[in-house]
Chains A and B, each alone.
Chain A
Amino acid sequence: MNSVEGLLTQIRGLSSTASDVLSLQNVLKQADESLHAESTRLLPFLDQLDPSKHSLGYLYFLEACTAGPVTTESASSFVLIIARFISSCVAEQIRLAPDKFISVCKRFKDQVLLLEEPLRGVAPMLTAVRKLQSSTEHLTTLHPEFLLLCLLAKCYKTGLSILEEDIFEVDQPRDLYLYCYYGGMICIGQKCFRKALELLHNVVTAPMSTINAIAVEAYKKYILVSLIHHGQLSTSLPKYASGVAQRNLKSLCLSYMELANSYNNGKIADLETYVQANMEKFGSDNNLGLVKQVVSSIYKRNIQRLTQTYLTLSLQDIANTVQLNRPKEAEMHVLQMIQDGEIYATINQKDGMVRFVEDPELYKTCEMIEHIDLSIQRLMTLSNKLTVMDELISCDPLYLGKAGRERQRFDFDDFDSVPQRFNI
């Protein structure tokens, strides 16, 4: 007990300046084991610390407290404590002990799920993420946890706000896979198929040495979203995808590849029979909703093709071409597509005719010019970033070592600036 008391005094004393905090950190590291030994009795001591001033110490204490197994009663009290801590802690202090912070937040997530109230965890987790990341381009281990909570709580919009930011720095590859996979699911929920496709594409083409389940599930969803958004699936993964992915992914998602083939053939009846036959399989992967969207998208694809050849067309003819049963159904489809902005047309109910018009966008308005200007600037920034990264890598000793060793494999001209034997 004495040591705990002494520790508390030290924390209170050494939490004011940055150098003090560093020495405090050393003290805490040495005291960590003893704290863990007394984990069950530490709870009352937490009241003596102020999370906003003594964040680092509080964190150590909290981490030791929550180290044990979680029960429903303790969960509700801990949830409140941790939520309060997260909202009031000081970012610089907790960044000194990121692992501890991450494990505390993970336990927080588990507790919130145990209580079956994921919504309670969403806001605190968002704050946690913001405090942990060193910059908005940094992906922490907490990002996927946060997205998981958003998915379970069904508040997709909050999730989307995090997804808007570009990620360039990654702590662990597994974080990225999970982040992109959950992010893809959130975008699908919000019907932003373009962004979903981008995120899922990142998982599928990420460098990996062995095939993992996240990539397989992501590829299944990727196939379905690609069919919905583009109406086609490119049969091979791009060259930069890892070798394991290129070799194994397709064979692990056979029924989805079959679905894509059936879609490409364009016969709606065949597609529907295939879906019916494999309903269980799609259901067990939780992809039934997506599959249904795929089937409805084939009608859209066919109607879009009609806009290229016809100026006006009767609803009856549309129904016949697209293999729908009645003109009323065709009308519903066309109406939906006009509302979604996928085609430009007017329906004349008196004659039962649809008139297709050209895209009214003339690219002459101020908004369009602004949009183009912003895009150009954004791309220029990206380009600069790319150049900077290229320069950094060229100076990286690891890279130079590897390039120097493998020099004889390449042309003389590629690497004549690197000395033959480059030893560090």
Chain B
Amino acid sequence: MDGIEGASNPMMEEMQANGTGGVDGSPLTSTSRRKNRPIVSGEPLDIEAYAGLYTGRTKIKRLMFIANHCDNPGMQLEALRMAYDEIKRGENTHLYREVVQKIDGRLGPNYAMDAAWCSTIERKAEQRKEKLESELNAYRTNLIKESIRMGYNDFGDFYYAHGALGDAFKSYVRTRDYCTTSKHIIQMCLNAILVSIEMVQFSNVTSYVSKAEQTPEALDPPTVAKLCCAAGLAHLEAKKYKLAARKFLEVGPELGNSYSEVIAPQDVATYGGLCALASFDRTELKNKVIDNINFRDFLELVPEVRELINDFYSSHYASCLEYLGNLKSNLMLDIHLYDHVETLYDQIRNKALIQYTLPFVSVDMRMMADAFKTSVVGLEKELEALITDNQIQARIDSHNKILYARHADQRNATFQRVLQTGNEFDQGVRAMLLRSSLLKYDYNIRALRKH
């Protein structure tokens, strides 16, 4: 299948213009195709398929995020229902109460507050906690490292299941003193990373990723992939899009579904693709994204992102921006990406504008406005901002609506700078000599007074 190299093929273009891209030629049944591609451009998010990609706490959090941020009440209720079901399978009563409050009885009696369940869970939790504590104390008196480590680990799991993330983090970190093999260390790091991501404290994530990477002998490929993903997420949160892109692109295909409690491979493709598009230059984009065999498999899972990257590289800006527009509403429902969507989109659009004007001496702004599906006036404003920012070296002929490239005249600029520096030196030295004579006078007066 050559959806990547053949993007300029007119038949492919037509298919792309439809927007639903059906260019993954492999024979998938409709249900499995839906399972793999919950985010289909232009259509509202398929919540069941989306939730199916994740497990554990992040599934619940993501569903609740979608419920909070989406406008469609049908989708909202769907998300809340699934969240309720998922929480009931676990032991987190705090989240349960939250979900029930959000549902507010709209889903019927089956989804109302089950107080009995809550109290049962809480009672069991108390008992388990006491048991764990007594076990831990026993281990501590016995001073068996391995058991103490397991004890703290169990505590960490317990707290995590009940939503006490701070305590979970502390417990996991305590195991560090009792780790004997590098495998233990890796396990501790992964646990700490998981809890930190849930707590949205990404500085911890970065430090634990680097800690884990310092023990290379115990790292098997899936773990390496997990660490790359975690590091990528940390960079994304810190708005370091270039570093985030590089990390996501390093994720190997061994990731599979093994990190579903944090991130799905579709997300890796989306985050990596968008960040790369916003921050890489053309060479890097070609080498690291388009020619990257490993990443190609990820991009298969989100064909729209693949298409829009190819469109950008082959200068079909209108369709690229169209894909972006279609994906936007669904991307805003993603828990990690939503507050970066605007910035990334602006950066991609600016890059497109700059790249469009780069090869030309003069550009007709009317044609450019067509290519970017915007009005000439709006385009002029955008170009003005970019020129003022010194990202495009050009000048606008507003009368004829043409953009002319302008190359700085080095010779004149040098002469101007020289004369200016000369003046500044002149002024500075004269002022300095004046000040020194004042200081000398001052000093003389003081010396006279002393004698």
B396 within 8 A of A: yes
> Cβ of A383 and Cβ of B396 under 8 Å apart?
no
CB of A355, distance to nearest CB on chain B (Å): 8
Look across to chain A and name the residue whose beta carbon is closest to the beta carbon of B425. Answer: A379
> Cβ of A310 and Cβ of B396 under 8 Å apart?
yes
Query: Which residues from A are CB-within-8-Å of B429?
Result: 382-383, 385-386
> Cβ of A363 and Cβ of B415 under 8 Å apart?
yes
Look across to chain A and name the residue whose beta carbon is closest to the beta carbon of B433. Answer: A168
Q: Render A374-395 as a binary contact track against B, CB cut-off 8 A, 1 for contact.
A: 0110110011011001000100
Query: Which residues from A are CB-within-8-Å of B388?
Result: 305, 308-309
CB of A187, distance to nearest CB on chain B (Å): 14
CB neighbors of B among A182-226 (8 A)? 198, 201-202, 205-207, 209
29 A–B contacts from the bound complex (CB under 8 Å) = A168-B430, A168-B433, A170-B437, A170-B438, A173-B438, A205-B431, A206-B435, A206-B438, A207-B439, A240-B435, A305-B388, A309-B388, A311-B395, A311-B396, A314-B398, A351-B399, A356-B395, A361-B412, A372-B419, A375-B422, A376-B422, A379-B425, A382-B430, A385-B433, A386-B432, A389-B433, A389-B436, A393-B436, A393-B440
CB of A38, distance to nearest CB on chain B (Å): 34
> Cβ of B434 and Cβ of A202 under 8 Å apart?
yes
Query: Which residues from B are CB-within-8-Å of A379?
Result: 422, 425-426
Number of chain B interface residues as a range: 35 or more
B345 within 8 A of A: no
Number of chain A interface residues as a range: 35 or more
Residues of B within 8 A of A (CB): 384, 387-388, 395-400, 404, 409, 411-412, 415, 418-419, 422, 425-427, 429-444, 447
Query: Which residues from B are CB-within-8-Å of A386?
Result: 429, 432-433
4 nearest interchain CB pairs?
A363-B415, A311-B397, A312-B399, A311-B395
Given the known inter-chain contacts A308-B387, A310-B398, A351-B399, please indicate yes or no for A205 contacting B435, CB distance below 8 A: yes
Residues of A within 8 A of B (CB): 166-173, 176, 198, 201-202, 205-207, 209, 240, 305, 308-314, 317, 351, 353, 356, 358-359, 361-363, 372, 375-376, 378-379, 382-383, 385-386, 389, 393, 398
> Cβ of B404 and Cβ of A311 under 8 Å apart?
yes
Query: Which residues from B are CB-within-8-Å of A312?
Result: 397-400
Q: How many A-B residue pairs have CB under 8 A?
A: 102
Query: Which residues from A are CB-within-8-Å of B409?
Result: 358
> Cβ of B395 and Cβ of A310 under 8 Å apart?
yes
Of A170, A309, A363, A383, which is within 8 A of B441 by CB?
A170
Look across to chain A and name the residue whose beta carbon is closest to the beta carbon of B423. Answer: A375
Query: Which residues from A are CB-within-8-Å of B433?
Result: 168, 385-386, 389
Look across to chain B and name the residue whose beta carbon is closest to the beta carbon of A169. Answer: B437
In the assembled complex, the Cα of A170 lies from the Cα of B439 at a distance in Å of 10
CB of B397, distance to nearest CB on chain A (Å): 4
Query: Which residues from B are CB-within-8-Å of A305?
Result: 388
Query: Which residues from B are CB-within-8-Å of A309?
Result: 384, 387-388, 395-396
Query: Which residues from B are CB-within-8-Å of A353?
Result: 398-399
Query: Which residues from B are CB-within-8-Å of A359?
Result: 412
Query: Which residues from A are CB-within-8-Å of B439?
Result: 207
Of B397, B415, B436, B438, which is within 8 A of A176 by CB?
B438
Of B415, B427, B434, which is within 8 A of A167 by CB?
B434
Q: A168-B437, A202-B434, A310-B396 are in contact. List 20 more A-B contacts (CB 8 A).
A: A167-B434, A168-B433, A170-B434, A170-B437, A173-B442, A206-B434, A308-B395, A309-B388, A310-B398, A312-B398, A313-B396, A313-B399, A314-B399, A351-B399, A362-B412, A363-B412, A372-B418, A382-B425, A383-B429, A386-B433
